[in-house]
């Protein structure tokens, strides 16, 4: 297929060469500044000079990681993949950053694959991918790609050039919105690409642990370009996104950032102040929507996390003369376990618990 009209082949070649140069290919922040019409009159970016500060810092951090991995490869050091989780209040510009990351990898890693997932199908279609396509229309090389509901792929003319002239395998060259099923997580599996692999979770707090487990298998090839970006409002105080920030065994594998939306330029401070005034600065509403912190108590949780953590941290005080109290939590045949625990005075740790799985009430009563 021929090029679209009004595209000068010489200009096209110059643009292609420029975007693949280390100046932009190895520096996502420089790429974003170059590719979009910041400050240009009669465009949606007329009043903007560039990304917000936290977005800038994120892009620069990705660039630093990439350059360090290239240096490691030259001296045959082990390669590390990029993993970063960002927890924030509402409105700091997560979806815009997601869009830039998608566009950067597709433009500078020819043949690469990007998988984008979200907490719901509606979020993925109407919010995340709508934002990705919006930024693609603003991009200086947006005409390289065509967009459908949940896929960005090279235009046929661009695809043909890559195959014929550069011998690039374009079979897995796309950015794709991936739907998932908690009951069938293996259906989410299968993506591997040594030319570059990127996975982005948007509103990751709602993505269940089995999908996270399957995703980790996408990055088995020890190549430089492996990126796993995770963004979310911290709406749940359990699950895989929560563990990234609170489980030491998981947390040590990830970079983290928590963003208080009040500190982000270009947001409406009055909106956040109203939430705090209505609910209180230490309320779960303010923690989630403004501070980017996880709620203290879940929807189905009887005892708040801060109370549990406080009890776990206190020293055990034994009192052999206090009455022995037994507590029973029945689970029967669900995924949870039935547990019998004992407390004497303020000591609920010295006597080991009795734990049972898939036992009926008769068994437990006996």
For the beta sheet containing 338-344, the strands, ordered from the edge strand earlier in sequence to the opposite edge, are 324-329, 338-344, 354-356
Give pLDDT, residue 366. 87
Give the pLDDT confidence score for residue 3 in this predicted structure.
40
Q: pLDDT at position 318, please?
A: 84
Instruction: Quote the pLDDT of residue 336.
Output: 78
pLDDT of residue 357: 85
pLDDT in tens, 195-229: 999 999 999 999 999 999 999 999 988 999 999 99
Phi, psi angle pair for 299, to nearest 5°: -60, -35
pLDDT digits (tens, 9 = 90+) for 144-159: 999 999 999 999 999 9
Which parts of the chain register pLDDT below 70? 1-10, 297-307, 309
Domain residues of the chain, as ranges? 9-267, 317-365
Question: What is the pTM (predicted TM-score) of this model?
Answer: 0.82
Burial class (CB in 10 A: 0-12, 13-18, 19+), 179: middle
What is the Cα–Cα distance from 55 to 63, expressed in whole angstroms?
13
In angstroms, the CA 115 to CA 176 distance is 5
Could you tell me the fold of the domain covering 9-267? Answer: Rossmann fold (3.40.50)
Which pLDDT belongs to residue 188? Answer: 85
Ordered DSSP codes for 23-68: HHHT-HHHHHHHHS-TT-TTSTTTT--SS-HHHHHHHHHHHHHHHH
Residue 335 has a pLDDT of 72
User: Where does the chain show beta strands of DSSP type E?
Assistant: 82-88, 113-118, 145-147, 151-154, 174-177, 197-202, 226-232, 255-259, 324-329, 338-344, 354-356
Q: What is the pLDDT of residue 26?
A: 97
pLDDT for position 184: 86
């Amino acid at each position: 297929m021929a090029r679209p009209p009004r595209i000068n082949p010489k200009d096209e070649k110059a643009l292609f060469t420029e975007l693949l140069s280390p100046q932009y290919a190895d520096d996502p922040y420089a790429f974003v500044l170059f590719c979009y019409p910041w400050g240009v009159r009669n465009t949606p970016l007329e009043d903007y000079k560039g990304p917000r500060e936290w977005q800038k810092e994120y892009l620069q951090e990705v660039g630093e990681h990439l350059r360090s991995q290239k240096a490691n490869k030259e001296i045959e050091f082990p390669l590390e993949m990029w993993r970063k989780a960002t927890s924030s209040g509402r409105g700091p510009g997560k979806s815009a950053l997601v869009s830039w990351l998608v566009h950067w990898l597709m433009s500078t890693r020819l043949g690469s694959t990007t998988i984008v997932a979200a907490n719901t199908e509606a979020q993925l279609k109407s919010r995340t991918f709508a934002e990705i396509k919006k930024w693609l229309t603003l991009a200086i090389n947006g005409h390289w790609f065509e967009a459908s509901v949940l896929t960005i792929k090279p235009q046929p003319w661009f695809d043909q050039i890559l195959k014929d002239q550069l011998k690039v395998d374009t079979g897995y060259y796309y950015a794709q919105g991936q739907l998932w099923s908690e009951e069938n997580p293996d259906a989410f599996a299968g993506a591997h690409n040594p030319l570059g692999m990127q996975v982005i979770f948007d509103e990751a707090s709602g993505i269940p642990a089995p999908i996270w487990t399957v995703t980790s298998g996408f990055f088995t090839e020890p190549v430089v370009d492996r990126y796993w970006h995770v963004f979310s409002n911290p709406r749940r105080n359990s699950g895989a996104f929560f563990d990234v920030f609170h489980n030491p065994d998981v947390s040590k594998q990830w970079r983290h950032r928590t963003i208080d939306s009040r500190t982000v330029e270009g947001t409406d401070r009055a909106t956040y102040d109203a939430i705090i005034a209505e609910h209180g600065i230490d309320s779960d509403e303010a923690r989630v929507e403004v501070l980017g912190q996880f709620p203290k108590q879940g929807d189905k949780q009887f005892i708040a996390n801060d109370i549990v953590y406080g009890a776990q941290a206190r020293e055990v005080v034994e009192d052999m003369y206090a009455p022995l109290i037994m507590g029973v939590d029945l689970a029967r045949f669900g995924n949870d376990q039935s547990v019998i625990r004992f407390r004497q005075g303020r000591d609920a740790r010295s006597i080991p618990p009795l734990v049972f799985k898939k036992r009926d009430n008769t068994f437990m009563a006996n």
